[in-house]
């Protein structure tokens, strides 16, 4: 089997660990590399050339427009023209025709990965992006293309007693996902300095499409830091909440595939907030909880939205914990937030706008094309919002487990400890091997 990996900065360290195992098993390992600073050390490596002047006619398709609208370079890094998207699309299409892979592994975050996904869909090539399934912790799923549809199965499930305990802990937020836990294993200052030097070197070699210039990065961070300060000046603490009907929207960090890709077309959070407010009656208020690690999602449009609706919108301070606000909330609205899973296990009314297998649970209401939560609010007010019984919760938990695998995917910088952990690395290799073996049997 020919297996293709798509370079993604430090995640390439993970792909190398897995790729070497595939090579031992007799599979052919190939690479497509967008940033040559992170090229792998083995296998058949294909480095995409940096763009020159694009002379061909540009055809804007629906799938291409989605990639362009969510592109970080165009949205944040000061790139003015989208010509580079078409350049890379052309180069990637040629490479896929040349390499003819049977299976592709990569992230679904950066534009070149999304272009590979687009090309794989067109050719019927399976593309998998491994990512945390969020609950239970220390597990991950292989998701298809740019979706949250899991591929493959571990065929695992928990004994009834353990499943009951786990479902209860998730619902009461007593068992947070591994990525939410405060880690003591952070990169050292020296590692972070080396990272900045490496990225800067790559930028001046020509990789300016996923990497902003050092000055631009400084300017962006300064701009959004000021917006976060403005948020805090407008925000209130838990003590300001009264006995009213509250709908809460937890902000999701951007840029991030979790909302920019999997949450599309609901990735404009300023618009989402306005649409939610338009659905609320005079006796209902909107609480906005910021992400603890706020980044670019707190934008001028969000600040203006709060300022324009002082009597109907309540922004919480960053210091407010989810546990503190939980009991005040009547309904949660989220795009693809982890909170949706917690709501399901706690029977907290939730309205989900994005993807995820949780959307099929009866106590998780959804609407794909437009935001209309009036029906959900009516159910809450009349005490008719659907509820899960204990057996339903156990069934859902085992669905999360059976569609995921043991292990945590690391990288070569921020989560390097997961790649240095022999037990975790063995779990990862077993999971990746199972997926490949299952795929071989279908070809």
Look at residue 442 in the predicted model and tell me its pLDDT.
80
The pLDDT tens digits of the residues spanning 350-366 come to 999 998 999 999 999 99
Beta bridge partners of 161: none
Query: Does residue 90 surpass a pLDDT of 90?
Result: yes
The pLDDT tens digits of the residues spanning 263-286 come to 998 999 999 999 999 999 989 999
Query: Does residue 178 surpass a pLDDT of 80?
Result: no
User: Tokens at residue 35, please?
Assistant: 């940033």
Query: Does residue 52 surpass a pLDDT of 70?
Result: yes
Please give the distance of CA 249 from its chain centroid, rounded to a whole number.
Answer: 17
The pLDDT tens digits of the residues spanning 187-215 come to 889 999 999 999 999 999 999 999 999 99
For CA atoms 75, 79, 83, 88, the dihedral sign is negative
> Where in the chain are all domains bearing CATH 3.40.50.2000?
227-397
Query: Does residue 181 surpass a pLDDT of 80?
Result: no
Nearest to 273 by CA among 353, 348, 199: 353
Look at residue 42 in the predicted model and tell me its pLDDT.
94
Query: Does residue 369 surpass a pLDDT of 60?
Result: no
Q: Per-residue pLDDT averaged across 129-155, rounded?
A: 95
The beta strands (E) that lie in 243-370 are given as 245-250, 284-289, 313-315, 331-334, 350-352, 364-366
Q: Are 248 and 277 in contact (CB under 8 A)?
A: no
Whether the link from the prior residue into 255 is cis, omega within 30° of 0, is yes
Nearest to 34 by CA among 18, 50, 19: 50
Classify domain 2-159+166-179+408-441 by CATH architecture.
3-Layer(aba) Sandwich (3.40)
Look at residue 443 in the predicted model and tell me its pLDDT.
73
Q: Per-residue pLDDT averaged across 129-135, rounded?
A: 94
Quick check: pTM over 0.85? yes
CATH number 3.40.50.2000 is the correct assignment for the domain at 227-397: yes
Look at residue 158 in the predicted model and tell me its pLDDT.
94
Show the CA angle centred on residue 17, arms to residues 102 and 261, nearest 5°.
Answer: 60
Average pLDDT over the chain reads 93
Q: Are 272 and 371 in contact (CB under 8 A)?
A: yes
């Amino acid at each position: 089997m020919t297996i293709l990996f798509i370079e993604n900065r430090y995640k390439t360290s993970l792909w190398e660990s897995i790729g070497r195992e595939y090579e031992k098993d007799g599979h052919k390992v190939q690479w497509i590399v967008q940033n040559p600073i992170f090229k792998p050390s083995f296998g058949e490596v294909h480095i995409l050339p940096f763009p020159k002047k694009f002379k061909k006619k540009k055809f804007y398709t629906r799938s291409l427009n989605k990639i362009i609208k969510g592109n970080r370079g165009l949205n944040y890094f000061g790139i003015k023209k989208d010509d580079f998207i078409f350049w890379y699309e052309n180069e990637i299409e040629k490479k896929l025709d040349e390499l003819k892979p049977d299976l592709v592994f990569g992230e679904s975050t950066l534009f070149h990965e999304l272009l590979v996904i687009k090309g794989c869909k067109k050719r019927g090539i399976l593309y998998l992006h491994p990512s945390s399934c969020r609950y239970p912790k220390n597990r991950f799923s292989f998701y298809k293309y740019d979706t949250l549809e899991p591929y493959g199965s571990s065929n695992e499930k928990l004994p009834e007693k353990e499943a009951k305990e786990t479902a209860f802990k998730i619902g009461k937020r007593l068992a947070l996902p591994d990525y939410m836990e405060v880690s003591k294993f952070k990169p050292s200052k020296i590692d972070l300095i080396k990272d900045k030097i490496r990225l800067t070197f790559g930028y001046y070699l020509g990789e300016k499409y996923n990497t902003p210039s050092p000055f631009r990065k400084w300017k962006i961070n300064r701009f959004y830091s000021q917006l976060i300060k403005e948020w805090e000046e407008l925000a209130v603490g838990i003590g300001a909440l009264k006995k009213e009907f509250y709908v809460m929207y937890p902000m999701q960090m951007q840029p991030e595939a979790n909302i920019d890709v999997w949450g599309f077309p609901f990735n404009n959070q300023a618009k989402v907030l306005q649409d939610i407010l338009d659905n609320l009656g005079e006796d209902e208020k909107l609480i906005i909880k910021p992400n603890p690690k706020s980044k670019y999602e707190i934008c001028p449009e969000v600040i203006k939205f709060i300022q324009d609706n002082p009597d109907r919108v309540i922004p919480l301070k960053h210091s407010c914990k989810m546990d503190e606000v939980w009991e005040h909330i009547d309904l949660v609205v989220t795009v693809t937030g982890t909170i949706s899973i917690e709501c399901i296990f706690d029977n907290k009314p939730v309205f989900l706008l994005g993807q995820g297998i949780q959307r099929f649970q009866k106590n998780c209401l959804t609407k794909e094309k437009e935001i209309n939560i009036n029906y959900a609010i009516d159910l809450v007010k009349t005490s008719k919002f659907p509820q899960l019984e204990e057996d339903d919760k156990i069934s859902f938990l085992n669905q999360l487990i059976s569609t995921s695998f043991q292990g945590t995917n690391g990288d070569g910088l921020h989560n390097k400890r997961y790649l240095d952990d022999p037990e975790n690395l063995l779990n990862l290799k077993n999971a990746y091997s199972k997926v490949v073996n299952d795929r071989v049997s279908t070809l």
